[in-house]
Amino acid sequence: MVNIKSPLRLFIEDSIKELIRGFRRQRIKWRNAFLLGSIMTTIVVLLHTPTFSVFSDEEETESSSPIYLNGSLHLNIQIVSSDAKVENLHALRTRTPIVQLNASEASGTVILRKRRKRKKRKKTKDELILPDPPPAQPRVLSSSERRALSLPPKKALTYAKLEIQRAPEIINDTDLFAPLFRNLSVFKRSYELMELILKVYIYPDGEKPIFHQPHLNGIYASEGWFMKLMESNTQFVTKNPERAHLFYMPYSVKQLQTSIFVPGSHNIKPLSIFLRDYVNMLSTKYPFWNRTHGSDHFLVACHDWGPYTVNEHPELRRNTIKALCNADLADGIFIPGKDVSLPETSIRNAGKPLRNIGNGNRVSQRPILAFFAGNLHGRVRPKLLKHWRNKDDDMKIYGPLPHNVARKMTYVQHMKSSKYCLCPMGYEVNSPRIVEAIYYECVPVVIADNFMLPFSDVLDWSAFSVVVPEKEIPRLKEILLEIPMRRYLKMQSNVKMVQRHFLWSPKPRKYDVFHMILHSIWFNLLNQNQTSFDDHNPDS
């Protein structure tokens, strides 16, 4: 077989021969010739390396500019036979060799693209990706459940209340983790009946931005996300108010504060007057408020001022179900058993609420005993820093995280590297740190007297958190060290399990925070229903 050399190699060899003949005919210094020969040799070596050479003796390729398909790099490649090499020899000789550097440019492009992709992946690695839930299996309804679907709202609630009292005992469940719940059997049956029966009517009245315009970012985002998901829901929402068990007043206290409050006035009474006038309008326009004096109506407010915006309307304050982040028992506004404690979740990216959460370190990679960093709001945080800032290497207690500390370890990295994350109250009892700790699988330590913890009607917070009275702050390290390692490991494992109940998702999932809030409202509505079941038994 005849060994046909590469056209490029033939071109280089012929060029060198012509150069040598020129040296013989003319008097040229050999020092300059040596330099020129070195340059030519370097070019030959580079062209035979994998990065610069796009041709081989066996088979050659011609490459056009790179093409990107579905985020991946593809080169437009054509195969050139050996015969075509010989035929194109003359054309190759007329080309300048530097044209072949396009191959190296393409290679460089690939490297840059790969580096950019790696950098992008590093930025988004903390986005919690939830697998798609399996298709829901239709549950076979009992005869009484089928009849309950046709009951008037009041009778349906009475039926549901008795069914919950008769709930069969559940020890293990494939969907739920029993140690997290005060009574798994009651919660499971109540949730099933909510999915079966509950219908919510949303008042269409009110103008944006206070009404029907959710605020989805920041520490008060819970009220906005609930509004967004409730108004887009088709399972629970009804357009017929006569079929409704609950009536939702879709306003945002955050938007109310932005629209009405006069900065520097220190006067929030105008907000309360605005809501008083709104409720009076509803009670005049519709019969539903006056029918129950507002006891089957509910509001959702995460702003610190939420409880105080109901003071100008006695029935709104006393009867309405209030889902509040500021669930402070000392104020006398939040009523246990009727009102709902709302988790305070800080959302940084409304388009991707699950970004920058999750992926907590394993226990062996949590060398810090306890961590806190934040503004010194309220009465508790200054006391915490007074006793523990710069006092103990195991206790990383700061005000705002210092820049020299944050450069070495960010706020999130501190939470991921700590066994316990301290959640002292600020101006109000709740704090987004409680949910942040859960997101980063750090056992929350709640320091806020008179605080009704979120979903405490169904969740057993002692299974995944520690509550420390404010007066015990001087003994904080002692209290944490007294917790046996076995119990800590169980609590930390439970934090991972409870995480799903505090996650917002653009498309609501079963048992997520949207459904947990709605269930607590439903559950407390049933507690208020005093109608005798014997008068409205669907089986009678």
Q: Is 259 helix (H, G, I), strand (E, B) or coil?
A: helix
Read off the pTM: 0.75
Q: How far apart are CA 340 and CA 327, in angstroms?
A: 8
pLDDT tens-digit map of 357-398? 878 999 999 999 999 999 999 999 999 999 999 999 999 999
Q: How far apart are CA 7 and CA 90, in angstroms?
A: 9
| CATH architecture entry for 363-502 | 3-Layer(aba) Sandwich (3.40)
Helices 221-231 and 513-528 sit at what angle, rounded to 10 degrees? 80
Q: How far apart are CA 464 and CA 470, in angstroms?
A: 19
pLDDT tens-digit map of 459-480? 999 999 999 999 999 999 999 9
Q: What pLDDT band is residue 9 in, cutting at 50, 70 and 90?
A: low
Is the CB of residue 192 less than 8 Å from the CB of residue 139?
A: yes
Q: Using alpha carbons only, how large is the chain's radius of gyration in Å? A: 35
What per-residue confidence (pLDDT) applies to 47? 53
The number of CA neighbours under 13 Å toward the Cβ of 326 is: 19
Find residue 80's DSSP bridge partners: 60
Please state the three-class secondary structure of 136-180 as a single string. Answer: CCCCCCCHHHHHHCCCCHHHHHHHHHHHHHCCCCCCCCCCCCHHH
Whether residue 408 has pLDDT greater than 90: yes
Q: How far apart are CA 165 and CA 189, in angstroms?
A: 9
pLDDT tens-digit map of 307-344? 999 999 999 999 999 999 999 999 999 999 999 999 99
Phi, psi (degrees; rounded to nearest 5) at 338: -115, -45
Give residue limits of the domains in the chain: 7-118, 145-348+519-536, 363-502
What per-residue confidence (pLDDT) applies to 26? 55
pLDDT tens-digit map of 234-244? 999 999 999 99
pLDDT tens-digit map of 249-306? 999 999 999 999 999 999 999 999 999 999 999 999 999 999 999 999 999 999 999 9
Q: Which residue has the higher pLDDT, 494 or 117?
A: 494
The number of CA neighbours under 13 Å toward the Cβ of 341 is: 20
Is the CB of residue 328 less than 8 Å from the CB of residue 336?
A: no
Mean of the per-residue pLDDT values of the chain: 83
What per-residue confidence (pLDDT) applies to 533? 38
Q: How far apart are CA 303 and CA 199, in angstroms?
A: 26
What per-residue confidence (pLDDT) applies to 139? 75
Q: What pLDDT band is residue 356 in, cutting at 50, 70 and 90?
A: confident
Residue with tokens 């300059």: 32
E strand or H helix at 73: strand 72-74
Q: What pLDDT band is residue 431 in, cutting at 50, 70 and 90?
A: very high
Q: How far apart are CA 344 and CA 46, in angstroms?
A: 62
The number of CA neighbours under 13 Å toward the Cβ of 88 is: 13
CA angle 451/456/462 to nearest 5° reads 85
pLDDT tens-digit map of 35-82? 666 666 666 555 555 444 333 333 333 333 333 333 333 333 333 444
